[in-house]
Structure 1
């Protein structure tokens, strides 16, 4: 893992990349995901918070119900992913819209299993963890790399987004499991998951935890961190929140996400160096 120009941490290519046979899928020629900078983690947590509050908003106040919201968000996600796959390089607006929608859908998958099908959180947490490991195993066996610096073919991008979906579903189930079993409250949960992410960073830098696993473990943990933050802001004061409501919280976080995405689109601060040097279209 190396320190990026912005002072943040990103997995070193040499830690994760291994030469592989030429992929049979179409090669875009450009990495389709952003550099891992501080902007990446900030927007990711904000998208996670929006995923939690937006799902609650549409489910409870828009009258769509859990099933209706799930169908609507899934259709929107598929449409945005089609656009994402058709782009030739990383585009902040398209990419982060896909992350925001996949955050909602991942949350809803876990909620449907728990609320509609009665699957225990322990079982769904284990199931999503196993599914994520399977994706990583198949991804590596197919491509000989899990590098997020080389998401440059249709097949690799498919593995990437599938892994992202399962991290959100796993983070939702694990976060709900911790919240229900430990009953810590929203603010304490925020602190707990923040400390867990800090522990991952310490494990990497001090104990040599692999850069790939450091990244993905942190990626999973940011989901319950963002969800706990969203609940703390939106839930009534009687329930331990600040009482801002899901509408205000969702609009506030969406505004910040939009501002950051516009900033990154203009400055290209999170674009790989080789992409900065050569203009691309599409």
Structure 2
């Protein structure tokens, strides 16, 4: 099925949503371009280092940090839901904050409540699967090219939260419990993402699942990179610290978001080329 046919199908479903009393807007999320993946990985790195910065360096502790970041995320999502179309600044602020919150959710379960990483990994995987099942049952699509109603957007952000929490648990399980180390873990997840891309473009792996699998895998990749850059050399890192690492990646994210706001390079007209992993459900 082509992108044009898929978009037409989604628009028809949007009209059905309108008749059900759900107001449809323009697409609320960016197109899946190279910019998307670069900023996503940067956000996942910030999610790991910023959580460590607030929790450990500033001494807020997991509980206080969770309350503060949860409140900030709620405010950011309020403005995201109020927007009538994709706004790079608001959208990527939500992604940065939800990456931190997803990390904190996983850390609270493992550090404060003593839940094993193997348990949290399977728990978040199940929560994500149930979210996808409910989303598909409600909308008959998991496409991110048609997030035009509040209901779809709610499913989208819930899925994003669980991908970050799942990625945090899976990344910690690989790097710490399996004793692979940070850079080996990063290489492992990078190879897995490459395998997904190869399967998508050579074996015709379903594009919807290609996207979501890659999205989950970028979280432990970014977390492993963040830990490798920020942690002390004695612990297997480069010793840059959470302040330097978080500041550097946030600056790059800000620069890219400003660029996208000015150029709209990640807003691709229907049927245009240049989309990586388009979600034309088959």
TM-score between the two structures when normalised by the length of structure 2: 0.90
Q: Name 1:22's counterpart in structure 2.
A: 16
How far is the alpha carbon of 1:15 from its aligned partner?
Answer: 6.6
> Structure 2 matches for 1:2-81, cutoff 5 A?
12=3, 20=13, 22-23=16-17, 24-81=20-77
Task: Tell me how far apart the structure 1 counterparts of residues 76 and 46 of structure 2 sit (CA, whole Å).
Answer: 17
**Aligned-pair CA distance for 1:14:** 5.2
Is the 8 Å Cα contact of residues 231 and 241 (structure 1) preserved in structure 2? Answer: yes
Map 1:61-210 onto structure 2 (within 5 A).
Answer: 61-210=57-206
Confirm or deny: 8 A CA contact 1:234 1:243 kept in the other structure.
Answer: yes
Q: RMSD of the alignment, in Å?
A: 1.8
Mapped partners of 2:16, 2:6: distance in 1:
20
Distance 1:110 1:25 in 2: 36
Classify 1:25/1:182 alpha carbon distance in 2 versus 1 (closer, same or farther; 3 Å). farther
In structure 1, the partner of 2:242 is 246
Measured in 2, the distance between the counterparts of 1:207 and 1:14 equals: 22
CA distance in 1, matches of 2:108, 2:233: 27
Q: Which consecutive unaligned segments of at least 5 residues does structure 2 have?
A: 273-282
Cα distance in 1 for residues equivalent to 2:116 and 2:49: 22
The whole-number CA distance in structure 1 between the counterparts of 2:161 and 2:174 is: 20
Q: CA deviation at 1:13?
A: 6.4
Name the TM-score, length of structure 1 as normaliser. Answer: 0.90
Question: What is the CA-CA distance between 1:148 and the residue it aligns to?
Answer: 0.5
Give the Cα–Cα distance (whole angstroms) in 1 for the partners of residues 254 and 115 of structure 2.
36
List 4+ stretches of structure 1 deviating above 3 A.
12-21
Shift of 1:25: 4.9
Give yes or no for the alignment of 1:229 onto 2:232. no
User: Distance in 1 between the 2:68 and 2:101 partners?
Assistant: 9
Q: Is the 8 A contact 1:25 1:153 kept in 2?
A: no
Q: Cα deviation per residue 1:150-172 (whole Å; 9 max; x = unaligned)? A: 00000000000000000000000
SS at match of 1:150: coil
Match of 2:254 in 1: 258
Cα distance change of structure 1 residues 209 and 227 upon mapping to structure 2, 3 Å threshold:
same
Report the equivalent of 1:280.
none
- Provide the rounded CA distance (Å) in 1 between the counterparts of 2:228 and 2:21: 44
Identify unmatched segments of 5+ residues in structure 1: 3-11, 277-282
Equivalents in 2 of 1:22, 1:241: separation in Å? 52
